[in-house]
Structure 1
Amino acid sequence: MKASRVSFAAALASGTVLVLSGTAFAHVGVQPGEATKGGYATINFKVPNERDNASTTQLEVNFPVDQPLTSVMPQDVPGWTVAVEKSKLDKPLTVHGKQINEAVTKVTWSGGKIEPGKFQQFPLSVGKLPENVDQMVFKAIQTYDNNEVVRWIEEAKEGAAEPQNPAPVLKLTAAKGDDHHGDAKTDQAKNSDKDAQHGHDEAAETSGSDTTARVLGIAGIVIGLGGVAFGVASRRRSA
């Protein structure tokens, strides 16, 4: 009896681990996971279907209002209808010399279907990304055709375990300006080396040409002197 209880407890624990593992790994996320601060990027919201008896029919992604993006352009996804919702900004932004008074706060895809055991990607071109933060958190809401709603809105806390329903996070990294400068210097150095090598080759070629000319000149003189000596000898014989 005791052995049966232990086996049941072990099986229950294993099942719980599997369920939690599935929940932790199969969630709505953003790919790639990082982008450059102050730039533009194409990101994909990857949505897996976690249910065996229902299909996902809608995805709603909410943008952080304190990090407004002036440009959000969705790519068509066959079978899905996309709606982009904008809101007025409390403080207008200036982008490329133009004043922007509103920004995208929500994008919703609907009308399609993600069947059990499948996933779908929803691409967006976004920018200009913030320069003063290290990440952007997008709260997503996934709806199934059995009216179940899963809210992927929990923000991870440093040092804590991943939440059960984590929100998609896009990490922002500094632009690699220094690397570009370094590349320019490296290219300049490479070009200088090439120029130096080219000059060296030209000098070697010129030196070789001069040496050849000198040898030919000396040979011509020797031949000429030989001809003169031959002529003198011939005259003496004739005399």
Structure 2
Amino acid sequence: MRPTALAAALMAAVAPAAFAPAAFAHVTLDPPQAAAGAYLRATLRVPHGCAGAATERIALRLPETILAARPMPKPGWRLTITRRALEVPVPNGHGGTITEAVSEITWEGGPLPDEQYDEFTVMLRTPEAPGTTLHLPVIQGCGGGATAAWVAIPAAGQHPAAGTLPAPTLRLLPAPPHAGHH
């Protein structure tokens, strides 16, 4: 096959996947991996609404192992932060203690039309647990009462079951060596 014919055949095979309906896209976390025990600017990527309806609410549930989180406000969206008391206070690294942690962050407003994409950002400190994967469930609320629950968490080593909406994940990597240490 000539190179131009091969290229045309390849484009014909790949193009449908490149322009697949947004329904196949997932709410994801960017970056998908980070160093354990580090501060991270994490962004939820919301690629579409719910079955054609505009997104009006994003609720992010944080794992209990994340003790520090601060959401970034978005113009046109109201921000709600839900906290939980810690059973045992932990040092904050600055001479004080942490007695409560953020359990859920909710952005409400918009709306974000189904055919548009947006991002919701949070600064967080990852736990000291390299080699683990954190699951951050998201409930996406849309117009007309529609919802998409991005909450499926597969068993260890498995993929989410077909037809489920997987929770965004964050893989924790070993922290890099500190500058000046050998």
TM-score, scaled to structure 2: 0.78
| Counterpart Cα distance in 1 of 2:121 and 2:110 | 15
CA contact (8 A) 2:32 2:171 kept: yes
Rounded to whole Å, the distance in 1 between the matches of 2:22 and 2:116 is 14
Q: Show the counterpart of 1:56.
A: 55
Aligned runs of 1:126-141 on 2, under 5 Å? 126-127=124-125, 129-133=126-130, 134-141=132-139
Give the SS at the match of 2:63: coil
AA matched with 1:173:
L
Amino acid of the structure 2 residue aligned with 1:41: L
Which has more strand, going by share of residues? 2
Secondary structure of 1:146 counterpart: helix
User: Over aligned residues, Cα RMSD in angstroms?
Assistant: 2.3
Higher helix share: 1
How many Å separate the matches in 1 of 2:109 and 2:22?
Answer: 26
SS state at 2:144 partner: coil
Counterpart-to-counterpart distance in 2, 1:147 and 1:30? 24
Query: CA, structure 1 residues 114+22, in 2 after alignment: closer, same or farther (shift >3 Å)?
Result: closer
Per-residue displacement from partner, 1:195-226 (whole Å, max 9, x unpaired)? xxxxxxxxxxxxxxxxxxxxxxxxxxxxxxxx
Aligned residue in 1 for 2:28: 29
- Corresponding residue of 2:9: none
Q: Hey, what does 1:205 align to over in structure 2?
A: none
Name the residue aligned to 1:177. 177
Code of the aligned partner of 1:26:
A
User: Larger C-alpha radius of gyration, 1 or 2?
Assistant: 1
In structure 2, C-alpha distance between the alignment counterparts of 1:78 and 1:141, rounded to whole Å: 20
Note closer, same or farther for the CA distance 1:109–1:153 as it changes in structure 2 (3 Å cut).
same
Deviation at 1:135, TM superposition (A): 2.1
- Give SS of 1:103's match: strand
- Structure 2 CA distance for partners of 1:38 and 1:53, relative to 1, 3 Å: closer
The alignment-based identity, stated in percent, is: 27
Question: Is residue 49–residue 142 contact of structure 2 (8 Å, CA) maintained in 1?
Answer: no
Q: SS of 2:44's equivalent?
A: strand
Q: Residue 45 of structure 2 corresponds to which residue in structure 1?
A: 46
Residues 32 and 160 from structure 1, CA distance in 2 versus in 1: closer, same or farther, beyond 3 angstroms? same
Q: Flag as ranges the 4+ runs of structure 1 deviating above 4 A.
A: none
Q: In 2, distance between residues paired with 1:153 and 1:91?
A: 27
Gaps (5+ residues) in structure 1? 1-20, 186-239
In 1, Cα distance between the equivalents of 2:159 and 2:35?
27
Residues 141 and 151 of structure 1 are in contact (CA less than 8 Å); yes or no, is this contact kept in structure 2?
A: yes
Q: Which has the higher contact order (CA 8 A, sep 6+)?
A: 2
Structure 1 residues 89 and 49: CA distance shift in structure 2, 3 A: same
The aligned counterpart of 2:144 is: 146
Structure 2 alignment gaps of length 5 or more: 1-20
Report what 2:76 is aligned to: 79
TM-score of the aligned structures, taking structure 1 as reference length? 0.61
Q: CA deviation at 1:44?
A: 0.3
1:168 aligned partner: 168
Aligned pairs, how many?
159
Structure 2 Cα separation of the partners of residues 161 and 136 of structure 1:
14
